[in-house]
Structures are given as structure tokens and as C-alpha cells.
A and B are shown apart, each in its own frame.
Chain A
Amino acid sequence: MATLNINGRVREVEAESDTPLLWVIREQVGLTGTKYGCGVAQCGACSVHINGEVQRSCAIPVGTLKATDRIVTIEGLSANSSHPVQKAWLALDVPQCGYCQSGQIMAAVALLGKNPQPSDKDIDDAMTNICRCGTYQRVRAAVHLAAGTRTAEVGRTTSEA
């Protein structure tokens, strides 16, 4: 048994203490927006916030968490996708398959929480989540857009033949 504060709600969950937080969120709690990608804290698809820090939940045994730890998943980020990061993601059509995007968004929100005006280098260092569709260019642009440090860029030209 563990007591967890997830998205502002305190819940009792029945799970072995070595169960990764990711699987407790997905299976016992039933919030499936947080994704399994690797299980070894490499890809970041499972990113959540714990006390405001972005963490890879696949590598955190649930037994190491206290009832006072504030856990936020993608579902608890905002009402109606109103967070500026979600709005920027929508404005630039960042997702392709979308599977990694919960984690990308959680990482971006954590970055902007600490560093509201990140440089490209700051984004390079903070945004280490894997995207196999290759949305990195738009992730970068959307972080800038959310921060207000740059307007949307479209790296595209169409020539009329």
C-alpha cells in the first residue's frame, strides 16, 4: 500500500513498494497519458513532475515516495489544455504519432518553470526526451513560442512549378 498525491488528489494504491511509479500511475490509478517507452529512464516518455521537478517515473519505486510529494501527470497539467506549452504545441502542430508528447510537454513545462526565457542551448540541455517521429525542430520552436522568446517559424517553402 502507498499513499500518493497525484494531480492534487490523495489516493491509496495497492502496489508492491518496488513497483515503478509509472506503472502505478498507469495501472493502479488508471491515468494512461504517461507512457512506457524504455523502463530505464532513457527516453522520457514517462516524465511527470514531482514537487515541481521533472522526473522519469519508470525509474522511481513507488515505495520511495511520501504522501506529501506532489505528483503531477499530463492529465493534471491544466484544465482544457490551457497551459501555454500545450497552446504552443497546438499552434505549431508539434505531435506526429504523439506517443512521446506527454513527456515532451512535461519536460518543457519544467524547463520554463525554472527558466522562463531559455536559450537554444538551455533547450538542448533540458529537452532530452526521445521522439522517433523526429518532432525536435517543432519542439524547440514551441518552447520558444511558449516562452515568448520567438514567434513561430515555418521552415518550409513551396515553389510553384
Chain B
Amino acid sequence: MKRTIRRRATNLSRRRFLVGSAVAGGGLALGFRVPFGIEAAAAQGAAAGPEVNAWVVVKPDSTCVIRIARSEMGQGTLTGLAQLVAEELECDWNKVATESPTPGESLARKRVWGEMGTGGSRGIRTSEDYVRRGGAAARMMLLQAAANEWKVSVGELMVSDGVITHAASRRATTYGKVAAAAAKLPPPDPASIKLKDPKDWKIAGKPVKRLDTAPKLDGSLVYAIDVKLPGMQCAAIKACPVFGGKLVSFNESKIAGRPGFPRAVKVNDSTVAVVADTWWRAKSALDALPIVWNEGPGAAQSSATIAEHLKEGLTAPGAYAARSEGNALKAIEGAAKKVEAVYGTPFLAHATMEPMNCTARISADRAEVWVATQNGEASQASLSEETGLPLDRCEVYKHVLGGGFGRRGGAQDFVRQAAAIAKQFPGVPIKMIWSREEDMTHDFYRPISQCRLTAGIDDAGKLVGMHVRVSGQSINAFNNSPLAKDGRDDRQLQGYYEKPGDAQLGYTFPNLLIEYAMRNTHVPVGPWRGVNTNQNAVYMECFIDEVAKAAGADPVEFRRALMQKHPKHLAVLDAAAAKADWGKPLPAGVHRGVAQFMGYGSYSAAVAEVSVGKDGKVKVHRMVLALNCGHAVNPDQIAAQVEGSVAYGLSAALYGECTVENGRIAERNFDAYEIMRLAEMPKVETVIVPTYDFWGGVGEPTICVVAPAVLNAIFAATGKPVRSLPLKNQRIVQSAKA
């Protein structure tokens, strides 16, 4: 937006972007973006200040407004990134506010804030260096301004909490006072910027409170679904229930005369919408609208046909051999004992609490959307494509997401739809909201897969060979990515990699064969928090327990023997086992299970304590999770992510399943797609074991160890492995001795 780019020139424009510290509850100054059209809320905004550099604006009272380019969806990245900037800036943490540049501003300033995409647990680990440099450069400029004013060498100055002092002359000033002069200085030579040793951190690395909590406690935070604009109309939407089906016709005359002046419009070749003065009236009219679909060939598909398709891939020739070390098939063939199992995991919906929605206003020469997005630049690109307007005519106002989990990243279907509707009402803001039923049945689902694992053990109980064959759908193939060419899609084998640093398998097998058989379906798929580590950890970690049992070994000791060449994986396993008192007695009927895995550059392990009731009901009492994410920017928010990952992973393990009937998803709301509630939440203990020699992710890595740790505890309780999820479909029988 032009007025933001020229923000130094006018104080007035700044007021549109900041809501000051009047927000209830906290002692902290809280700044967050206020979208256009909510001028009343912005009127209480704070005064402007000079922009020292792209990352830092300093107000006269020394409040530092830190720019955050990544999206906040609950994962705490906003606070973590602000901590990293503030650490180098040496400002007063109690006077920090944040604001988010728009994709339009980023484009106009040649992407000065770097990547906006927020997924793959990258928010901090792939921006930590440049945001810290941004904070350090601003500090150097502020100090230089003071040195210039006092005509002393900058090396003689000290700074703490935004107060600059010159000991020799006993002078002191503040960031607020020198900011205007600092903003006129040239930025320092990048080579002269020296970042702090993390061991000296005072703000980063500490469990400071989140900056964005207060407006989430009184209903004042404006999510995208809450946007109000002058003259706004609302849209409800319905896409063909069968994936790949088409819209044939609809009969608008049947909704004429209903309240709210509803109008039915074609959105695209598979989707229809009704626009009215309120969303409820639009939705009611849409429910009453006769629609004819051509459901297409997908209507013949069901969960049973898809399961057969995947099963064929478990043994079919021509699979992609991603890892072949030694001769696993021969080693297993000649082994004293052979273990074999077939596992399976279902399609899953993201089910963010805030359903998909987007508000669009489109005129002949400008397009704007107000949206919850994990990737503002992808939203902007989608808006440009849908409207035919160049990027610099398209603006995106990012709102805090009511959940993302991968659903609001690359796809941007909601932006395209809202734009397609709004194009038909030039200049009129259209707020499109999906019903929960639409959200549940038109997701980009976690891909379905099956896995056949075979292992051989020698007479001494040592594993001699491992063969893993994953058969299932490919996200890359759905996205037409060249990474899925000829079925050679490594992403579907996430967590089984040989290469270190990202999602490396923590075991060394003397003979190993890992294969992928791509078996795609008509169901749209996409990344679901943790992506393929979730399924692959269940397969590997549960099977390892089966092999350990066949070898007569303790599950932790059996793993340790295979992990000696992977010390970081091993240290995390050991940390979880120690904290969970592995091997020590438990109350009668309670059993432990363990799992470890790597994803998103971080190492995770979990121990679950589980009991199985006489009725077969599984109760998870306690979970200990250990995580090495390298540097730990905010330990309390890391713990919050770990706790949340237990709920997300456990909910999927207990209940999560999207089934296909007549080509469509059968589970249409939370009554059928059940979500774990508070009563089932185990006590979670988070053990953070940072080694301070790398930057790993936090939002996703720990989910994948939750389900296998619980399944392994059930295996310990019942003696029978659980090989298919969710648990609600399994008959769990209490062991006689349990």
C-alpha cells in the first residue's frame, strides 16, 4: 500500500496500522494490523515513529515496532521472531509491538522482509539470521546517531533496554530520541554486523509471554471471518460433492423472494455460491437452491476401492527404490526369523477451527482480499491470476489465522473463489465463508497410505535386514510437481532419509531397502501438520517394536543398538526414556510405549503411559516428549507446541478418518469427524534438550511420535500390535495378564 510505503511522511497513516497498549489485560504494548474498513478500531492507534530499517520502527516513547513477515496461526512465531530482533536491537522488551507488512508492501520493496510463507516449521529457523541482522543493524544505526549527536566514538557507548549511555560524559539518551536521526543514516556494512553468541541471549531463549494473547481473551481480535466493510455482502458456497465433478446448472428462481435478496452465481466449473446481505441468509438460500451436478467418474470410488488400489502397490513390481543398502531381501530371506506386517493410515482433514473464508473487493483496476493465509504471497499471486490484474494491483490483508496446519498454505482455493465471486459484483466487498460441511468435504487431505514392512533377525536377536514398502498417494503428484516424476517421490518417504539435517532415519540397518509405490486417487491431498512424518513414524516405530518383541529385546535397548551412529537421535530417545522412568515399575494395568523420529530439522522422542480397560477403551495417562530443535527461542512456546502436537496427533490416532463413499467424503462435521476433547488429554511433560548447534523446527516435529508411542503402549498392554488407524475402528482386547 502506497500510504504505508510512504509511512515516514505522514503520521496519520500510521494510525491505521497500530492498535496501542490500551488493549486489556497485558502490561505490554500490543500492536497488530487493523484491516481497512475498521477505522473506528484504529482511531485509538498510537503515534508514528521513524522507520530505522525495514524491521524496526521506533516511536518517540522508545516503543519499538518490529515487523513480522511470517503468518501467525497460533504457533507463536510472531513472538519468537520479535524476541530475535529485540535481542540484537537491545530494546526494552516491555515496549515491543509488532506489525505485519502486506504482500503488496513486500513487492514494492523488493521482498525486503524475505519469504512470507509459513509452513514446514520454517518460520524461525529459515529467517533467524536475517531478522537478527535486521535488529543488529537498527541498533548500530541508533547508536551511531547518538554518537554523532554527542560527537564521540560509537565504541564508547553502551546500550541496554533502549537506553544509550556514554559513561565518560555521564550522558544518556533513548532510542525514541535518536530514532529520527538514525533513520537518516546509511545502513551499516553487512560485513560489520556481528550477531550475539546465543549463550549471551537475554530476551531470546527465554520463556517470555506471548505478545498476542490479550485480544484473544475478550473477543476483540478481528479474524478474517470477522471482517466488516462498508456495503459488504456475504457469500455461502457449495462445490460439487464428488471431487472432479462439475456444476451443470442451478435454478435461481427458486430462491427469489427469500430474505436478504439472495443471488446465485457460478464461481467456477464445479462451484456455485449464493450472495446475500448476511451469511446466514446466503447459506439458507444456498441450501434451498436446486443444483444439478455431473459427478463424473470419481463417484464410483469408495474407501474400499482405494484400499484395494493401495494394497496392489504393496507388492507390485516397479516401485521406486529410494534407499538400497546391502541386500535386504536376501538378508531377510536367509534370516533365522522373519517378521512381517502391513500397516495403514487414512485420509485426514485439517479441520481448522476457523472455516475457510476470504473477503474480496474487486474493481476494474484493483483487487483486495482480507484473508487468513499461511502464505500471503501465494494469496496475492492467486488473486492476480483470478482477476487478471498485475501483482502490484493486488493487495492482501493478512489476519491472524484461526488455525492453519497446512490447509491455508499453497492451495489458496478460498482466495480464488472469493475473487471469482467478487468479480461479479464490482466494487462490492464480498465475504465468503465456507460452512463446516464444505470445509470438511473439500479439504486437501493428508494422503492415505499403506506400508508393508519385513525384517529378518539372526539367532542372536540381531536385526539383519529391513524392507519397507510404502504404497499411497503423493502430494507432489497432486500438485503436478516435477518432484513426483515417474513415481520417484522422496517426499512420501519423509523421515526415512539417509541424508542428515532434515528428516533422517535414526537407525543403521546392515541391509536396507526402502521403496515407494505411488498410488494416486481422485481425492485432493496436501500437507497436514507434520505431513508424511506422521504416517511413516507409525509404520517404522510400531514395526520396530514388533521386531524387538520377536527378538526378545526391550524396545528402548533394541533401538539404542541400532542408533549408535546417530547420536542426536539417540540423545533425544535417552532424554525421553529417562524423564519417563523407562524400565521402572508402573501402576497395575499401565503400560509404556516409546517412539523416536526426525522431521523439520529437529529430533523427537516420546514415551506414552497407557491403560486398556476391560471394555477395550484406551486411556492415555501421561506422555513425555523430548525435543532437540537446536536453539530454543522461547521454551514456553515450544512446550505449548509440544502439548498441542500431542492433542493433534492423539486426536488423529483415536478418531481421525475421512472415508470415501460414492466419491465424496462421508464425514461432514464434528459429530462424524470426532476431535479429542479435554477429558482425553494426557498429562504432557516436555523435555527440551537443545544442543545449540543448528536451527530446527518446532511446530511439526513432535506430532509424529505421539501415535506410535501410544500404539506401542497398547501393544505392550495387549500383546497384539495395532496396525491400522484410527483406534476407534480397532477392537482392542485387554491382555489376560494386564
Q: Which residues of A contact B (CB under 8 A)?
A: 15-16, 19-20, 23, 26-28, 30-40, 42-43, 45, 73-75, 77-82, 86-87, 89-90, 93-102, 105, 123-125, 127-140, 154-159, 161
Contacts and interface: CB of A to CB of B under 8 A. Distances in A.
Interface stretch (B220-228, B263-271, B303-311, B479-487): B220-228
A138 B681 CA distance: 11
A43 B96 CA distance: 35
B62 to A, nearest CB: 24
B650 to A, nearest CB: 8
A96 B636 CA distance: 12
A140 B221 CA distance: 23
Given A77-B218, A81-B25, A136-B681, 4 more contacts: A40-B670, A82-B24, A93-B209, A156-B687
B213 interface: yes
Contacts of B690: 158-159, 161
Nearest to A45: B353
Contacts of B210: 93, 95
Q: Which 9 A-B pairs have the closest CB atoms?
A: A33-B219, A134-B647, A97-B74, A99-B402, A98-B216, A96-B74, A134-B644, A124-B679, A32-B226
Contact of A99 (B75, B354, B687): B354
B661 to A, nearest CB: 20
Contacts of B691: 161
B518 interface: no
B635 interface: yes
10 contacts: A32-B225, A33-B219, A35-B354, A42-B671, A90-B213, A93-B213, A95-B213, A99-B403, A131-B647, A137-B681
A19 B212 CA distance: 33
Nearest to B278: A27
B640 interface: yes
A128 B678 CA distance: 6
Contact of A33 (B24, B218, B355, B679): B218
B127 interface: no
Given A98-B221, A124-B678, A132 B648 contact: yes
Given A74-B218, A81-B214, A155-B643, A98 B74 contact: yes
Contacts of B681: 134, 136-137, 140
B353 A131 contact: yes
A116 B449 CA distance: 48
A78 B691 CA distance: 45
B689 A90 contact: no
A155 B683 contact: yes
A123 B677 CA distance: 11
B436 A95 contact: no
Contacts of A102: 219
Given A27-B278, A96-B74, A97-B403, A132 B675 contact: yes
A37 B24 CA distance: 25
B400 interface: yes
> How many interface residues does chain B have, given as a range?
35 or more
Contacts of A73: 219
Interface string B623-663: 00000100010011111100111111001000000000000
Interface string B74-104: 1110000000000000000000000000000
B709 interface: no
B255 to A, nearest CB: 14
Interface of B: 24-26, 73-76, 207, 209-210, 212-223, 225-226, 228, 234, 259, 278-281, 351-355, 400-405, 433, 435-436, 571, 575, 579, 628, 632, 635-640, 643-648, 651, 669-671, 675, 677-679, 681, 683-692
Nearest to B628: A161
Given A124-B678, A132-B403, A157-B685, A96 B228 contact: no
Contact of A96 (B215, B435, B640): B640
B402 to A, nearest CB: 3
Contacts of A154: 636, 639
Q: Is the interface of B mostly helix, strand, loop or mixed?
A: loop
Which of A38, A82, A135, A161: most chain B Cβ within 10 A? A38
Contacts of A127: 677-679
A79 B638 CA distance: 31
Given A97-B402, A130-B353, A132-B648, A16 B259 contact: yes
B556 to A, nearest CB: 18
A140 B207 CA distance: 20
A36 B639 contact: no
Contacts of A81: 24-25, 214, 217-218
A20 to B, nearest CB: 7
Contact of A23 (B226, B279, B636): B279
A138 B352 CA distance: 19
Given A99-B353, A155-B683, A156-B635, A161 B678 contact: no
A80 B671 contact: no
B74 to A, nearest CB: 3
A66 to B, nearest CB: 21
B214 A90 contact: yes
Contacts of B74: 95-98, 133
Nearest to B352: A132
B689 to A, nearest CB: 5
A136 B403 contact: no
A32 B222 contact: yes
A134 B645 contact: yes
Nearest to B433: A36
A38 B683 contact: no
A43 B24 CA distance: 26
Given A27-B279, A32-B226, A97-B403, A138 B640 contact: yes
B25 A101 contact: no
A28 B89 CA distance: 46
A130 to B, nearest CB: 5
Contact of B353 (A28, A31, A97): A97
Given A35-B402, A40-B671, A95-B216, A137 B684 contact: yes
A156 B639 contact: yes
A82 B25 CA distance: 7
Contacts of A93: 209-210, 213, 636-637, 640
Contacts of A134: 643-648, 651, 681
A135 B644 contact: yes
A151 to B, nearest CB: 16
A34 B225 CA distance: 11
Contact of B278 (A28, A75, A105, A161): A28
A44 B237 CA distance: 23
A99 B73 CA distance: 10
Given A23-B278, A27-B280, A131-B353, A140 B678 contact: yes
A156 B688 contact: yes
B675 A130 contact: yes
A139 B352 CA distance: 18
Nearest to B234: A27
Contacts of A45: 353
Contacts of B355: 36-37
Contact of B436 (A26, A39, A99, A132): A39
Which of A42, A99, A139: most chain B Cβ within 10 A? A99
A157 B638 CA distance: 11
A97 B223 CA distance: 10
